[in-house]
Amino acid sequence: MIKSLIDLACDTGFLYVDWRMIVMWGVVAVLMYLAVFKEFEPLLLVPIAFGALLANLPTEGVLNKPAGALISPAEGTTTALFVSEGDKVFVPRVVKHLPKSVSDIVKKAEETQAEAQKDVEAYFRFIEDVTSAESRKDTLKKAKGIPDLVAVVRPDYSDAETDKEASEANMSFKVPFKGKVLDLKGSDLLVWAQTTGDVTDVLTAPGKRVVNGEKLVDVYSARTGGLYYYIKMGVLLEIFPPLIFLGVGALTDFGPLIARPKTLLLGGAAQFGIFATFIGAIYLGFTSQEAASIGIIGGADGPTSIFITNKLAPHLLAPIAVAAYSYMALVPIIQPPIMRLLTTEKERKIRMKSLRKVSRLEKLIFALVVTIFCILLVPDVSALVAMLMLGNFLRECGVCERLSKAAQNELINVVTIFLGTSVGITMTGDRFLRVDTLSILALGVVAFGFSTAAGVIMAKIMNLFGGDKVNPLIGSAGVSAVPMAARVSQVEGQKADPTNFLLMHAMGPNVAGVIGTALVAGYFIATIGH
């Protein structure tokens, strides 16, 4: 009777729930509260929160990978193989965080060879226990979240950047596993089953050379892949961020920037937070690629953060994307205290001269010139810059009204749903509830604060050199959160003087910030990513 009840619980998914999932439900509740009841950017937070909820449930047919081949993660040699044709491989409904390499199993970086040996032996004993044929029949052990280990590939190179990482990668281990003694190195890569099914073809063998992306094993499964597995490809293939930029370009008037070009300096100054956070992240032990991805959070630009992280540090996509979009949503809370701290009552009351009328021809030429110049300068972000300017060109040309409205409404709305849920789906408890994630969230606040402060200070510096006075409040709009940051400048300005209207003035640095953040991202990709 008890066994039947346990089997029923396993079939219903209750047995797969762990404490990380429950904690993430609390995170989802907070995000939903901010979006629905506080109305902090609900168009962003609702899809993200719902995607996070799906990621932390034992879902079937939503997130699962499709059946197909297991491929080599690097160029190298297959050193061990644990399946043969006709075998069945198994993947639990909820997969826990898995080590990508043998060195990832070592608990502490400073461990000796002997201590590391014990860690690796203990882990392989554990996976042998929970993935054995007998254990797969045990309902309780099915819920351990460990898929079958299929193969081990020894790469020809190591990604280690420091002496410590190199030492870990070069460690050697002799580990008993499933009747064999494995001769492993720290740099060896672990290939796990990705779907439950039957092995139909084995295309490698121990000692065989393989290239990156080469098929190792073919697996047949009735699973066709979940809906959001395919939707998530829009992030991995870098489709969604450029499409978001297309919509932003169609929604945004670049006239204020063209009418007052010096506001480019405010958008440029706001990028200071990116570089300050980059240095801080390096100091905290992140790699240069990770630090660059974290630093872009300071630009308050969700699509660009996703774009650069997908290229430089895809394993950090979840915390960086959530931090970027969360802080975009919290612009009305984070920015005002900094703005008031750095400005006087008199400065907040500064009235700026009305902007001149910008002709259609100027706007069209601007879009084309920026496209050519920026892509020649930083080709790596051509997708973002090109889509931003295409959207604006559709808006301003006057002969593509239907396309402009589609980009402003249907397209950007659909892509926002897909992008938001795709980001949320990456927020699994085992990936999100880590020290690194908390560090990234903290660095994100610092980055955003530095960017806001730098924009305000630059406006104050500009006022020292005469000419038309600039209200320092619009300097905070130099971040890329369009048009949220510009609206915050307007609100804070009207608190000091209800008859003062800063919105259009703030749009200049706001647009400059979008372009500036994209250029900085391109610089990082060009110098660090290659």
Q: What string of DSSP letters covers 372-413?
A: HHHHHH-GGGHHHHHHHHHHHHHHHSSS-HHHHHHIIIIIHH
Q: Over the chain, what is the mean pLDDT?
A: 86
| Residue 478: closest CA among 242, 257, 322, 246 | 257
Which pairing describes strands 88-89 and 197-202: parallel, antiparallel, or unpaired? antiparallel
CA distance 305 to 310: 8
Q: What is the mean predicted confidence (pLDDT) over 59-86? A: 83
pLDDT at 79: 93
pLDDT at 6: 62
β-bridge mates for residue 183, sequence order:
174
66 vs 86: which has the higher pLDDT = 86
| Residue 68: closest CA among 193, 233, 211, 229 | 193
Q: What is the 3-state secondary structure (H, E, C) of 233-268?
A: HHHHCCCHHHHHHHHHHHHCCCHHHHHCHHHHHHHH
Q: What is the mean predicted confidence (pLDDT) over 228-245? A: 87
pLDDT tens per residue, range 402-425: 999 999 999 999 999 998 888 888
CA distances to 13, 76, 130, 434 from 21, in Å: 12, 37, 21, 13
Backbone angles phi, psi at 147, to 5 degrees: -75, 170
Place of tokens 């939903």: 32
Six-digit token string for 430: 């085992």
Q: What is the mean predicted confidence (pLDDT) over 472-481? A: 88
Cα 287 to its chain centre, rounded Å, is: 16
Residue 369, burial from CB neighbour count under 10 angstroms (0-12, 13-18, 19+): exposed
Whether 206 and 231 have beta carbons less than 8 Å apart is answered as: no
329 vs 279: which has the higher pLDDT = 279
Q: What is the mean predicted confidence (pLDDT) over 7-20? A: 72
Which pairing describes strands 180-185 and 197-202: parallel, antiparallel, or unpaired? unpaired
CA distances to 77, 151, 211 from 217, in Å: 15, 9, 14
Contacts of 1 (CB under 8 A, 6+ apart): none
Q: What is the mean predicted confidence (pLDDT) over 198-213? A: 90
* % of the chain surpassing 90 pLDDT: 39
pLDDT higher than threshold 70 for residue 164: no
Q: What is the mean predicted confidence (pLDDT) over 232-239? A: 85
pLDDT higher than threshold 80 for residue 158: no
Q: What is the mean predicted confidence (pLDDT) over 117-140? A: 86
Domain boundaries, the chain: 69-224, 231-528
CA distance 492 to 495: 5
Q: What is the mean predicted confidence (pLDDT) over 27-51? A: 88
410 vs 143: which has the higher pLDDT = 410
pLDDT band at 134 (very low <50, low <70, confident <90, very high): confident
pLDDT tens per residue, range 255-272: 999 999 988 899 888 888
Lowest pLDDT segment from 1-15, 237-251, 486-500: 1-15
CA distance 496 to 51: 40
Half-sphere exposure of 218 (CA within 13 A, CB side): 6
pLDDT at 165: 57
Six-digit token string for 225: 């892949």
pLDDT band at 529 (very low <50, low <70, confident <90, very high): confident
pLDDT at 92: 83
Q: What is the mean predicted confidence (pLDDT) over 494-515? A: 90
Q: What is the mean predicted confidence (pLDDT) over 7-25? A: 77
Q: What value, to the nearest 5°, has the Cα angle with vertex 474 and ends 455 and 297? A: 45
pLDDT at 133: 81
| Residue 391: closest CA among 305, 301, 514 | 514
330 vs 400: which has the higher pLDDT = 400
Task: Give the CA radius of gyration of the chain.
Answer: 26
65 vs 95: which has the higher pLDDT = 95
pLDDT higher than threshold 60 for residue 253: yes
pTM for the full predicted model = 0.78
Q: SS3 breakdown of the chain: % helix, strand, coil, rounded to 5?
A: 60, 10, 30
Amino acid letter, 58: P
pLDDT at 161: 52
pLDDT higher than threshold 80 for residue 447: yes
pLDDT at 93: 76
pLDDT higher than threshold 80 for residue 38: yes
